[in-house]
Amino acid sequence: MARNVIAWDPFREVSTMREDMERIFDSMLNRYPRERVQAVWAPFVDVEETNDAMIIRAELPGMKREEIKVTVAEDTVTISGERKYESEQKDRTFHRVERAYGSFQRTIALPVSVQGDRAEASYKAGVLELMLPKAERVKAREITVESKD
């Protein structure tokens, strides 16, 4: 008998719980659906480290390049912006709105310092990719202890 082994992913359970909570809140707030879609949201990200850079990919579907702002500090990156709400038109009625709209901000703490002045960003097919070169590590140096006698 063949058995499939599937790796346990604790984040899948958290994601499922989040979806369940959203369904509960949706049903409670069903009379006021537009208030919910204006809620604050944050994009999902992947953070990857190579020998010489940190690479961050963020899911931002439906956004334009000019609606996205990226700020790089020594060991943090902040991605922010606003996804505009698609207004209803006369001949259309939305029966379900699950995509998040409104302002967002996501700050990511990096495990190493990066060179913000050499960072590169590209946006294609709804995915923002940041290439952040690692900063040179400051080498420890020995100092002489002087006597003040």
DSSP conformation letters of 42-64: ---EEEEE-SSEEEEEEE-TT--
Average pLDDT, the chain: 83
Give the integer Cα–Cα distance in Å for 21 and 133.
Answer: 39
Instruction: Using the CB atoms, write b or e for 101-120: b if 16+ within 10 Å.
Output: beebebeeebeebbebeebe
- pTM metric for this prediction: 0.64
Query: Residue 6: its pLDDT value, please?
Result: 66
Query: Residue 22: its pLDDT value, please?
Result: 75
C-beta of residue 70 within 8 angstroms of C-beta of residue 121: yes
Q: Which residues of the chain have pLDDT under 50?
A: 31-39
Query: Residue 32: its pLDDT value, please?
Result: 44
Give the integer Cα–Cα distance in Å for 51 and 56.
Answer: 14
C-beta of residue 114 within 8 angstroms of C-beta of residue 75: yes
CA distances from 27 to 14, 37, 80, 101 (A): 20, 14, 29, 19
CATH top-level class of 40-86+100-136: mainly beta
Query: Residue 38: its pLDDT value, please?
Result: 35
Which structure tokens are listed for 68? 């996205």
Query: Residue 28: its pLDDT value, please?
Result: 62
Question: 36: part of which helix (H) or strand (E)?
Answer: helix 33-37
C-beta of residue 25 within 8 angstroms of C-beta of residue 98: no
How is the chain split into domains, by residue range?
A: 10-37, 40-86+100-136
Query: Residue 71: its pLDDT value, please?
Result: 96
Query: Residue 11: its pLDDT value, please?
Result: 67
C-beta of residue 100 within 8 angstroms of C-beta of residue 69: no
